[in-house]
Amino acid sequence: MALYSDKVMDHFRNPRNVGVLEDANGIGEVGNAKCGDIMKMYLKIEDDIIQDVKFETFGCGSAIASSSMATELIKGKPVSEAMQLTNKAVAEALDGLPAYKMHCSVLAEEAIQKALDDYHSRSENK
């Protein structure tokens, strides 16, 4: 059996939503000191809908694929739905990750949660 699914390889080789959103109103950055992966998520939210999402990830193929898939799963969705995204859902959407790479999907979940927290804190301070 192959180590990575075709979906993981596709999202690694052709990541979706890569880059920086200059007008982001929610930004979250997380890292894993053990493996060195760093993820930064940018959200553009209007009328409680994630209109656009971009990411920058420094890390392994699983980290890049997890970031890419996570952005695809929340783009165009209500904030309330994005808040429910779990690392398990990211891994399942990728047709699985090796057990020792599940931390990559956890980072994707955490980066989105931090970006959503940032959005909410900016909204409260308006």
Q: Please list the active-site residues.
A: 35, 104
| b/e per residue 21-44 (b: at least 16 CB within 10 A) | beebbbbbebbbeebebbbbbbbb
The conformational region for residue 107 under phi > 0 = left, psi -120 to 50 = alpha, else beta, is: alpha
Phi, psi of 45, deg, nearest 5: -115, 130
CA atoms of 89 and 86, how far apart (whole Å):
5
% helix, strand, coil for the chain, step of 5? 45, 20, 30
